[in-house]
Structure 1
Amino acid sequence: MKPDAAQPIAEQFASREQQALAATLGVWIFLGTELMFFGPLFFGYFYGRLHFPQGFADASRHTEVWLGTINTAVLLTSSLFMVLAAEQRKAGNARAATRLLWITAALGIVFLVIKGSEYAIEWREHLFPGPRFALSGAQAGGAEIFFYLYFAMTALHALHLTAGIVLTGVFAVALGRNATRFASGERIELVGLYWHFVDLIWVFLYPILYLVGRSGG
């Protein structure tokens, strides 16, 4: 991450470069701890996929792949706007950065709305694990495990995305109120790292949840 010339140097740092490096390292360590939330779920998925391949494939075919595909496009587009926001802020164009941050947050909200609609469809189709689970037959046990993991992973992702939307909104409001010292390009870029992390998690979730049963699995 390039240091922001407008960002004041804290007294514990010798230079802006050192300060920027420390901030970036801190965020990467934080993201590493966040990955620990998803790690056990990914492990559980691949364990289940290995032991119940047909059940997982059958269950995956019941996911709303077209909604998942739209949401993938939405998140990838939001990452582009986040990058542009950080660049505009570093270039000193606070107004453009504010607009781009709001667009990023709005796309995150669009993702959550679509995901909520998807949950509603799955609720109506009795795909939530439990006594009324719709799938039956020899592969029902594996399919139910799939949906346990599906809802756990996508809900955890949605929680992280919500945090990203709030952070993005906070910086957009700060820039709109001309609090440019707080909403520096450096800090917006760090928020962007978190946003890209959340998007990257979805890039892994999309194929294993939506496509595994549609690729001959």
Structure 2
Amino acid sequence: MSTALNLSHEPLTKIPHGKMAMWAFLASELMFFSGFFGAFIVLRNSNYDIFGQGSNHLNWMLALVNTFILIGSSLTMALSIYHLEKKNTGMFRLFMGLTILGAFGFLIVKYFEYSAKFADGLFPGQEHHTVFYSFYFLMTGFHALHVIGGMIPMFYIFMKSYSKNGYPYPHKVETLGLYWHFVDLMWIFIFPALYLMIPYHGAAAH
């Protein structure tokens, strides 16, 4: 007598594959950023004066503005997901649009910050600022690329929401939200590391 086996083709987890892939991607990005931070801390601890001189030329007020912009964009992203799940398309568009504006505003502030550095002749490889500004441009530039990488799908989803059926995939927006919160979190670490946490003992040197 043969026994029929009922094989289930349901996934082992109810977590969407896209979200699992995003978690894996973010884990790899976290290791990448951790490498930056690890190297930065080691070199900072052995070059306090050099790093302090470089940090003194950074505009922490602009960086603080960008910090509030990204924190606000995390909130608007969460609200956009909430309203999409509630099928409130109008409010979804509002908060997704605000998130996109926040990302764009962050890049504008970063443009002015970079422009000021270039105008002062501060580049990677310039005299005693070499190591610090190499890290500064590498870490903030890499982060800015992640901001742009988030804006592209956000804008696509925003435009698709104006189609006849709207955007019927809240789980995809939630996955994008994971990415955006990660981008914001990385800035929360970059901001104090570059702008606030570098002691400068040059004035005490004899």
| Counterpart selection for 1:157 from 143, 162, 178 | 143
Unaligned stretches of 5+ residues in structure 1: 1-10
- What amino acid is the match of 1:205? I
Q: Which residue is 2:194 aligned to?
A: 209
CA distance in 1, matches of 2:191, 2:165: 37
Q: Secondary structure at 1:176's aligned position in 2?
A: coil
Q: In the alignment, what sits opposite 2:114?
A: 119
Deviation at 1:23, TM superposition (A): 3.8
Name the aligned partner's letter for residue 156 of structure 1.
F
TM-score, length-normalised on structure 1?
Answer: 0.82
Give the Å deviation of 1:39: 2.8
Q: Equivalent residue for 2:185?
A: 200
Alignment partner, residue 47 of structure 2:
52
Would the alpha carbon gap of residues 191 and 215 (structure 1) be closer, same or farther in structure 2, given more than 3 Å must change? farther
Deviates more, 1:119-128 or 1:53-62: 53-62
Matched, 1:85 2:80: yes
User: What count of residue pairs does the alignment treat as equivalent?
Assistant: 195
Larger radius of gyration: 2
CA RMSD of aligned residues (A): 2.3
Write the mapping of 1:22-37 to structure 2, written as runs, cut at 5 A: 22-37=17-32
1:74 aligns with 2:69: yes
Distance (Å, rounded) in 2 between the aligned partners of 1:14 and 1:206: 41
Distance apart, 1:21 and its partner CA: 5.2
1:8 is matched with which residue? none
The alpha carbon displacement at 1:34 in A equals 2.0
Query: Shift of the alpha carbon at 1:99?
Result: 1.9
SS in 2 for 1:20: coil
Cα separation, partners in 2 of 1:178 and 1:214, compared to 1, 3 Å: farther
Q: 1:62 aligns with which of 51, 57, 66?
A: 57
Q: Distance in 2 between matches of 1:174 and 1:215?
A: 50
TM-score (norm 2): 0.86
**Is 1:191 matched up with 2:176?**
yes
CA positional deviation for 1:24: 2.9
Cα offset for 1:44? Answer: 1.7
Unaligned runs of 5+ in 2: 1-7
Q: 1:87 to 1:31 in 2, by over 3 A?
A: same
1:45, 1:178 → 2: CA distance? 50
**What does the per-residue CA deviation read over 1:65-120, in whole Å, with 9 as the maximum and x for residues that have no partner?**
11000000000000000000000000110121122111101110000010011000
Q: Measure how far apart 1:161 and its partner are.
A: 0.5
Task: Provide the residue aligned with 2:94 in structure 1.
Answer: 99
Q: Match for 1:167: what amino acid? A: P
